[in-house]
Structure 1
């Protein structure tokens, strides 16, 4: 796996990787920042290798996800999954990793579509990023870079694994209703029958002309699905003073303004919980860009980096996270690997 800064020549990087590893699947995506050896990183290429003695994987490129052929995609995944299971009867653990074009506006549909085909392969992943530019995001498999696409990796392992998702947000008392929206573009035009950006600014006590990514990171909104709340993160205000979201939005949706807990304290507690019985040898993390922005705003970037480094978290900052059948925001999704001491961990 390669998590590639958007400031690199992505096509050249994945093409060169293919020449170095012609007999291995190489999955890659652009990032909104990297999680590397020193925690939060910028302008890096982070690589992860899965040792062949402990892992067996298979990957597939899913193209044209805005016009997805659902049944054909489910059939492809099902055949890959069954073949992998047949080849690895001695391995007890399974998981799936999904990277998606973060500007495709299709992650919600994709994750919901493919989830039934994955069965007992718990899935996590992230949406490719482009720093804070929101112009072009890419994924790649085996040297082929693509937009409007995703790469799904199915994996079996002889080591114990744990797929997780965490967030530090608590729903507050202030609610608002989406009264006009363009769901296909994830745009909210009106909230409570008022212009969306101005009404949101009023509710969070901010000047509507001063809304920025720091405001969205510190005043996220959540929607209730079943008995849980999930973030519907705001990406930006467009030229029409409408709110552009990172994930699915629709008219009639009731949004609640959430209150963040202390980011550093919450992350430390969650990582310690993953280490309660045994410390993971490695953790792959897909961490929302809004968490990085919040860490910067609250002057916790160094503390967060130290936590990520101490717990051997590697991965990238995303435009959204995949967990099970859901596409979510303002979370970290990931996987912890619990390896026997003599076998070592992932190769970085």
Structure 2
């Protein structure tokens, strides 16, 4: 049983004044949300990234790092720009930069200390979560951050978690009571399409089997959202044999899982690919809303391995996608009905990216992301309030405070 002192901690960062490459050149006006991206192959990528991000001071800097990067070198070098406690991040299954969908890049997002107050909590071992300790520590951090940030009335929580831990469902469930009314979004760290090794970045170290909860209070207006472009059909199936701990489905409708899924689609089981799963997801109904239970891959024995929680007796419904370009543009436009956000920080499922590639809509989706100032990364799953979900985009839209220009 862990006590609260076992949780990794960083103190509230609003009053921190970390030095950066930009700061050494003199102060300059920062945007409400500072963003930058650099190819990971650039030999001076860390210094150029820090310079592009701006002078700070930052309450927090998020790094979304391609799986192609030298993570050890990056985490060591970033200390030359910022205090290690200011920087957190994760590896990705693709990045979202100012150009839209990107590959092979390091994306940085900085929250200026003038408008944001931040506290972070490390969950160092996802296999040993002590729920009551975690709830108590989260409440204490929330209370302290609120007291130290008068006038910072906007708030949200941002979660980064090891995407191969298979423990996101347990973690979000444990965090929910401590967060109370604070809206949460987040993403599971990725490893491109290899599914081999995923990491979160904490105080200059790259960690596995860990998660980082960031509590944010801000003078800005914020809106946490979750969206998907999927419509349930009338075709249903029942999980009749499963290994819930490993997210494996062995039988559907009392038949071998992959073969039965393929039969319902009218496809050859041997032709099932990640693109198939992205184009023909299955959903479950929870609380009056359908949520995707995305299939990651087919095992050699015909089992289906899922990205999120699965169990025997669960009724799955096949879903069909709407036009994802039109849908994303429409949903993001709704976030601008009362004024366009300065930036949208988003976690976007890898299956959405793969569907865009399969349907040759990658460029069009990138344009939509650019138009709406979306930055972030592609994930192995998304967190939204108390749930771990798949094949969605979830994030936070950040607006200038009332009466202020961006």
Q: TM-score, normalised by structure 1?
A: 0.97
Query: 1:192 touches 1:199 (CA, 8 Å); kept in 2?
Result: yes
Distance 2:79 2:384 in 1: 28
- Which residue does the alignment assign to 1:313? 374
Residue of 89, 93, 96 corresponding to 1:28: 89
Residue of 221, 224, 227 corresponding to 1:163: 224
Query: 1:230 touches 1:328 (CA, 8 Å); kept in 2?
Result: yes
- Which residue does the alignment assign to 1:44? 105
Query: 1:98 touches 1:125 (CA, 8 Å); kept in 2?
Result: yes
- Which residue does the alignment assign to 2:171? 110
Counting matched residue pairs gives 345
Indicate whether 1:217 and 2:278 are aligned.
Answer: yes
1:285-322 Cα deviation digits (max 9, x unpaired):
10000000011111110000001001100000000000
CA spacing shift, 1:245–1:344, aligned 2, 3 Å = farther
- Which residue does the alignment assign to 2:40? none
Query: 2:219 touches 2:401 (CA, 8 Å); kept in 1?
Result: no
Residue of 184, 201, 216 corresponding to 1:140: 201
CA spacing shift, 1:35–1:88, aligned 2, 3 Å = same
Deviation at 1:23, TM superposition (A): 6.5
SS at match of 1:334: strand
Distance 2:370 2:405 in 1: 17
CA spacing shift, 1:344–1:51, aligned 2, 3 Å = farther
Residue of 338, 354, 361 corresponding to 1:293: 354
SS at match of 1:109: helix
- Which residue does the alignment assign to 1:226? 287
Residue of 265, 281, 297 corresponding to 1:204: 265
- Which residue does the alignment assign to 1:149? 210
Query: 2:115 touches 2:219 (CA, 8 Å); kept in 1?
Result: yes
Deviation at 1:206, TM superposition (A): 1.1
Distance 1:112 1:136 in 2: 24
Indicate whether 1:281 and 2:342 are aligned.
Answer: yes
Indicate whether 1:325 and 2:399 are aligned.
Answer: no
Query: 2:64 touches 2:376 (CA, 8 Å); kept in 1?
Result: yes
The two structures, once aligned, show a CA RMSD in angstroms of 1.3
1:98-130 Cα deviation digits (max 9, x unpaired):
010000000001001101101232110100000
Distance 1:90 1:238 in 2: 53
Residue of 309, 313, 318 corresponding to 1:248: 309
Higher RCO (C-alpha under 8 Å, 6+ residues apart): 1
Answer with 63-72 or 233-242: which moved more: 63-72
1:120-159 Cα deviation digits (max 9, x unpaired):
3211010000001111100011212111110000000001
- Which residue does the alignment assign to 1:83? 144
SS at match of 2:112: coil
Deviation at 1:12, TM superposition (A): 2.2
- Which residue does the alignment assign to 1:18? 79
Query: 2:85 touches 2:202 (CA, 8 Å); kept in 1?
Result: no
Query: 1:60 touches 1:141 (CA, 8 Å); kept in 2?
Result: no
Distance 1:343 1:44 in 2: 32
SS at match of 2:86: coil
Residue of 312, 315, 318 corresponding to 1:257: 318
CA spacing shift, 1:19–1:160, aligned 2, 3 Å = same
Query: 1:178 touches 1:250 (CA, 8 Å); kept in 2?
Result: yes
Could you list the structure 1 runs, at least 4 aligned residues long, displaced by more than 4 angstroms after superposition: 340-345
Query: 2:89 touches 2:202 (CA, 8 Å); kept in 1?
Result: yes
- Which residue does the alignment assign to 2:125? 64
Indicate whether 1:182 and 2:228 are aligned.
Answer: no
SS at match of 1:206: coil
Larger radius of gyration: 2
Deviation at 1:14, TM superposition (A): 2.0
- Which residue does the alignment assign to 2:157? 96
Deviation at 1:179, TM superposition (A): 0.4
Deviation at 1:66, TM superposition (A): 2.1
